[in-house]
Homo-oligomer: A and B are copies of this chain.
Amino acid sequence: MDNVDTSFIPDLPTGGGLAAYRKRANFDWKRLRLIFETEQALRIKYNVWRRLESDPLFAHASRTLPMDEQKRLAAMQVNRMKHLELVPKEIENLNFSEKTKYLMHINEALNSYSPSLSVKIALGVGLFNNAIRAMGTEKHTKYIDAAWNREVITCLAVTEVSHGSNTKRIRTTATYDPSSQEFVINTPDFEAAKCWVGNLGKMATVAMTFANLITADGENHGLHGFLIPIRDPKTLIPYPGVLVGDIGEKSGLNGIDNGFVVFTNYRIPRDNHLNRTGNVTPDGVYESVFTDPGQALGAALESFSAGRIGIMQESANTLCSAAVIAVRYAAVRKQFGPEREGEEMPIIEYQLHQYRIFPYLAAACVQKIAVEELTNTYLQIIARSQADSNGFDILTQNAAEIHAIISASKPRITWSARDAIQETREACGGHGYLRASKLGQMRSDHDPLCTYEGDNNVLGQQASNWLLRQWGAKELESPIGSVTFLQRRETLLQLQFPQLLRQSPLESWEFALSCYEWLLCHLMSHTTAHITHQLAAGVHRFEARNNSQVSGARELSLAYAEYFALKSFVTHVRQLSLEESYARVLRVLYDVYAMWLLESHMTTFYVGGFAVGGDFAAAVQHRLLQSCAQLKDMAVSVADAIAPPDFALNSVIARADGLLYENLQNEFMTNEGAFQRPSWWRDVIIPQGQEKSKL
């Protein structure tokens, strides 16, 4: 680890209100940064940030822009991407995983600057192209190039007004007309209008759309993808038969033009059907095409999961940003103190404050590594399945498990980021409510991640369903190894705290992991019993499952995600050969996060009999608070190691210079019209009745 190159990481300002705590850390934040992220990832990101910062088009607005202006700006920024040359030519020589990761890193850096921008790009290029690869055939690859070159402006239209999570019940139809060899697209009624489609409101020229494929005989062959031209790319005027509009203002992400569209007998060429998995012959016969099922499945898998992995990466960064703001503010802000007239204490010194914000700092660090590990696992599977002649086998073995991991982890991390932002806002008091703190916008922009690419509560059910199947299965199918501990289920279910303490003391990495293994076994066993009991009583399986969410399945799926993240972190860290001071930081972060998570499941540990009496809860809380106290003097440097540069973080209360009050002063004094008398002053004063001396 000695010869890591940190020279490409820009220095932070010295002095200022953060200096005192920075001095107390006995490690180099830059080297820690290179533990949280690879050198390559960091180089790519700093490059993106540098380029954006030096281009005036990306200068931050000093106030919320009008909706239309936000959309214009985001669109202009998307178009500027090419000129910024963020993606070098050489990327074509990289293998699949390397290339994907390159693009992911760019996306992360863009996202931390502006979520509207990164989502627009993803919809316009990444996700669209994934979908084409997943569902299209040879003849559709030209769209991939066209999207790259922005000859087409694209979007993905799945959701309808009355159908989101239950995509199977989408009602848009594509009826094949053999006479003209066209599909006729129809929206049966407004409830089936496509809506919420990003890029569609003002700009998209083509929409990748899910619709029911109906042949001339009236038979419905289920959902298929279609490329539907929306607007003339030369004029952006919609084609006849396409009623397309913008859904209007949202709570955030207003740089994106989310739209709705109603199709009325709108004809598209037969070739616009994405026909990888099912094809219609020119004369109208539907045929299932499974010549290459492995690749088809792989691509489909990739298409659905890559988006969610992107969300997890973004959310890990959002967690980082929120934690950085909370920590930097807390280290500079002083309030109260032991003596009436004496020095006040930085609020970071208060145990309660540590307990409120450090778990998010720790979560950010652990998840940063865990998400990276999950990404690698995911990409390896895809790559192996592409390379191997047995690709199909590799995929089906892994597909269900990786889907479960992602379905559990996306809710876990998006909710953590959501909570981190809110806690940070409150932890920064009134100043956290300033627009310039960035927290309000961060909250609004992050919020929908709990809903799109799969509603968290619905996704969670998919994960728990898989887990419960594993519990019930005769043979374990866990090629990724996320539930291999189930082989020890009998022993695990008997485990109790005192016995665990003897096997794995509190100080061991295994302690928390073993607690989780008991917890997961208990929840699976408990939930299974609950469902079985209902089935026996004649309850419909659908209902039995629904009625087992609150009492077990929901917690199960969250606990699974947490276990997977903690385990990935431990596995990763153990592979590193670290100097003592770095090992210690990672250990403290792990303890804070793990103990905090265990605390959130405390009831189950007691109810399930793992713990009796006060010892377990006391031990966990004691270690949590102790670890928080240890983290306190390192926290600022840890935050430095995960902070985006000031340009991207863009929070006036958390600049790296630690000059909180100077920066606030500057903000107050220079905000637009700060000292201006309102132009409408005459409208609001009340004519003064009588002269009163300075009253």
Contacts and interface: CB of A to CB of B under 8 A. Distances in A.
A245 to B, nearest CB: 4
- What class of interface size applies to chain A in its complex with B? 35 or more
Interface in A448-463: 448, 450-452, 455-457
A338 B678 contact: no
A128 interface: no
B688 A435 contact: no
A613 interface: yes
Q: Choose among A152, A542, A611, A668 the residue with the greatest number of B CB atoms under 10 Å from its CB.
A: A668
A352 B554 contact: yes
Nearest to A652: B248
Given A169-B344, A203-B684, A554-B352, A451 B426 contact: yes
Interface in A232-253: 233-237, 239, 244-252
B440 A452 contact: no
Interface stretch (A94-102, A188-196, A375-383, A635-643): A188-196
A298 interface: no
Contact of A671 (B248, B434, B664, B679): B248
Nearest to A691: B234
Given A151-B695, A161-B664, A229-B695, A675 B245 contact: yes
Contacts of A674: 245-248
B625 A614 contact: no
A84 B298 CA distance: 66
A10 interface: no
Contact of A336 (B67, B165, B451, B547): B165
A403 interface: no
B607 A607 contact: no
A51 to B, nearest CB: 20
Nearest to A618: B607
Contacts of A152: 695
A551 B162 contact: no
A183 B640 CA distance: 47
Nearest to A349: B546
Interface in A496-512: none
B234 A695 contact: no
A151 B543 contact: no
Interface stretch (A71-79, A276-284, A315-323): A71-79
Given A435-B249, A603-B603, A607-B618, A665 B190 contact: yes
A206 interface: yes
Given A422-B418, A435-B250, A661-B191, A692 B334 contact: no
A3 to B, nearest CB: 42
A164 interface: yes
A157 to B, nearest CB: 13
A335 interface: yes
Contacts of A608: 614
Nearest to A201: B674
Interface string A585-607: 00000000000000100110011
Residue with the highest number of chain B CB atoms closer than 10 Å, among A193, A244, A685: A685
Nearest to A672: B248
Interface in A673-695: 673-675, 677-681, 683-686, 688-689, 692-695
Point out which of A151, A229, A602 has the most chain B C-beta atoms below 10 A from its C-beta.
A151
B166 A344 contact: yes
Interface string A436-448: 1101110110011
Interface string A101-145: 000000000000000000000000000000000000000001100
Nearest to A152: B695
B426 A450 contact: yes
A632 interface: no
A436 to B, nearest CB: 7
A162 to B, nearest CB: 6
A159 interface: yes
Contacts of A673: 68, 246
Nearest to A340: B168
Given A430-B159, A695-B142, A149 B689 contact: yes
Nearest to A667: B248
A270 interface: no
B685 A236 contact: yes
A692 B206 CA distance: 13
Given A355-B550, A602-B603, A686-B79, A247 B447 contact: no
A166 B617 CA distance: 33
A329 interface: no
B335 A166 contact: yes
A149 B196 CA distance: 48
A368 interface: no
B450 A236 contact: no
A612 interface: yes
Contacts of A234: 685, 688
Given A661-B191, A678-B68, A683 B606 contact: no
A603 B611 CA distance: 11
Candidate in A152, A248, A677 with the most chain B CB atoms within 10 angstroms = A248
A350 interface: yes
A229 B693 CA distance: 10
A577 B675 CA distance: 60
A621 interface: yes
A612 B614 contact: no
Nearest to A444: B440
Contacts of A489: none
Nearest to A689: B151
A551 B684 CA distance: 52
A433 interface: yes
Given A234-B688, A246-B671, 17 more contacts: A71-B678, A79-B686, A142-B695, A235-B677, A235-B681, A247-B434, A247-B668, A248-B434, A248-B436, A251-B440, A269-B694, A351-B547, A422-B447, A440-B447, A550-B621, A551-B625, A602-B606
Ordered nearest first, which 5 A-B pairs have the shortest CB separation? Answer: A251-B440, A248-B671, A606-B606, A249-B435, A352-B549
21 contacts: A76-B683, A151-B686, A151-B688, A161-B665, A162-B333, A165-B335, A206-B695, A233-B685, A234-B688, A235-B677, A235-B681, A249-B435, A269-B693, A337-B542, A353-B457, A418-B422, A426-B455, A429-B455, A430-B452, A603-B617, A608-B614
